[in-house]
Structure 1
Amino acid sequence: MTTRDTLSETPAGETAEPALFATMSTMRAMRRLKPDPVPDALLDRLIQAAVWGPSGGNMQRYEYVVVTDPAVMADLAPLWKRCVDAYLATTGKYAPAGMDEAAYGRMVAAIEYQRDHFAETPALIIPCYRFPEPRIEEEGVRLYAEALGAEATARMAKIQERFNALAEGSCVYPGVQNLLLAARGLGLAANITIWHLMLEEEWKAALGIPEDMNTFAAIPVGWPRGRFGPVSRRPVDEVVHRNRW
């Protein structure tokens, strides 16, 4: 049955479920990868999907480091191991409150598998972003404070570093999600991690990333050893607050 046939059978006043919904609902974090290479053409399609993502002010100051050389991956493997071990020793030591212990154990086992086989990872993508130096003029500062008010301006001064980090992240992570969705749609396994930030200077040195360029994720990509399937998430009625909290 073609897509046209499916749409023609949709009752009046209803719309067919977009194929993207099936992609999203089965996009597990797949950490067990086959060592088989991923063609450059497919990796370019992932980056194209990322580039289609929104960018604050349409500045498009992102860059993507794509690692496929086994020798480079072998050099990165010890850094990956140090970061994963640090995570598992602290933040990842215990299952979060409310999470099934058995499910958490399976996730940790997958993380350990990925750690132990990292040198065999076919591809690794590092999204980067360099925020431009802002042009700040005295009159602009006056109008900014006038618009917010004295109290809010003082509060903003305290969280400016967090605001800047979120501003950069908002220019990168929509593209990363596009990349992950594209990988799922192409049958590739991928998962987003930020553990490399524990040793970001070492990662940047190993990959020749400029000092003033921030990195936002390390995304292993390859053909999955397992099968995609439905994700387990909290139901919508538990997380929605309509009109106010």
Structure 2
Amino acid sequence: MPNDAGNPAAAQPPLFETMSTMRAMRRLKPDPVPDELLERLVQAAVWGPSGGNIQGYEYVVVADPAVMARLAPLWKRCVDAYLATTGKHAPAGMDEAAYGRMVAAIEYQRDHFARTPALVIPCYRMPLPAPDEEGQRASLEALGEAAAHRLAAVQERFTALAEGSCVYPGVQNLLLAARGLGLAANITIWHLMLEEEWKQALGIPEEMRTFAVIPVGRPQGRFGPVRRRPVSEVLHRDGW
């Protein structure tokens, strides 16, 4: 048997290969994705962690071409708004040619959205805590008055991050599962510019928050290595 002890690449678990080739592939074949595969993606998402094990998530899966066609105008409005503002220019340090290719892929997805095989929309709503004066006093004592005051000032952000932390790990599981199954899937949040319209179109209850729209399908191109900043540039040991 060959000795791989001196080959770092050979020691990498298959999951690392999956993660390193998870490009955001927006050009999808129109072929339907079987329901069983879509259910496997949602199962992978459900395996993600949930704060307090509350499991307040719900997943809307769209695969009906008629529904997709109704959503296409909303998608176009959101993408056009993004490209006119945040996406108008390449981020600092990004190669202009590479950014142009990314924009071309976004525009392709926009123009062919009605033929998207499937969408997954993760939703979540954190239950409102019951009034608890004793708990509030204990929290104030633990944090201190100044910190408790700062927390109250950012409570809305805290809640949004708490919900997101219960959703996005599951979304990453879904993306990993899609890559492992040979499917292309990419996370987008552009729909939040018209979230109420998306919720109305899909019958999502008012009290639920939506956290992404994830197009899913078989890729037209090939998976390949992602381009990311090297670890040496982003790692801070034992503090900043």
Question: Residues of 2 paired with 1:58 and 1:135: CA distance?
Answer: 17
Partner of 2:34: 39
Aligned residues: 238
RMSD: 1.3
Partner of 1:76: 71
Q: What residue identity is the alignment partner of 1:11?
A: A
Question: Residues of 2 paired with 1:203 and 1:71: CA distance?
Answer: 15
Question: Residues of 1 paired with 2:11 and 2:92: CA distance?
Answer: 37
Q: What residue identity is the alignment partner of 2:154?
A: I
Partner of 2:88: 93
Q: What is the deviation of 1:32?
A: 0.2
Question: Residues of 2 paired with 1:43 and 1:65: CA distance?
Answer: 11
Q: What residue identity is the alignment partner of 2:143?
A: L
Q: What is the deviation of 1:136?
A: 3.0
Partner of 2:150: 155
Partner of 1:178: 173
Are residues 1:11 and 2:5 paired?
Answer: yes
Are residues 1:66 and 2:61 paired?
Answer: yes
1:28 to 23, 27, 35: 23
Are residues 1:223 and 2:218 paired?
Answer: yes
Question: Residues of 2 paired with 1:225 and 1:200: CA distance?
Answer: 29
SS at match of 1:134: coil
1:102 to 65, 80, 97: 97
Are residues 1:130 and 2:107 paired?
Answer: no
1:240 to 213, 218, 235: 235
Question: Residues of 2 paired with 1:151 and 1:185: CA distance?
Answer: 48
Identity of aligned residues (%): 79
Q: What is the deviation of 1:133?
A: 1.1
Runs of 4+ in 1 over 6 A off after TM superposition: none
TM-score (norm 1): 0.95
SS at match of 2:128: coil
Q: What residue identity is the alignment partner of 1:159?
A: V
Partner of 1:190: 185
Q: What is the deviation of 1:166?
A: 0.2
Q: What is the deviation of 1:11?
A: 3.0
Q: What is the deviation of 1:159?
A: 0.7
SS at match of 1:92: helix
Q: What residue identity is the alignment partner of 1:37?
A: P
Q: What is the deviation of 1:10?
A: 4.3
Partner of 1:48: 43
Q: What residue identity is the alignment partner of 1:185?
A: G
Question: Residues of 1 paired with 2:53 and 2:137: CA distance?
Answer: 26
Q: What residue identity is the alignment partner of 1:187?
A: G
- The runs of 5 or more residues in structure 1 that have no matched partner are none
1:140 to 135, 142, 145: 135
1:186-239 Cα distance to aligned partner (Å, 9 max, x none):
000010000000000000000000000000000000000010000000000000
Question: Residues of 2 paired with 1:42 and 1:10: CA distance?
Answer: 35
Question: Residues of 2 paired with 1:11 and 1:85: CA distance?
Answer: 51
Q: What is the deviation of 1:135?
A: 2.0
Question: Residues of 1 paired with 2:11 and 2:97: CA distance?
Answer: 36
- The runs of 5 or more residues in structure 2 that have no matched partner are none
Question: Residues of 2 paired with 1:153 and 1:136: CA distance?
Answer: 17
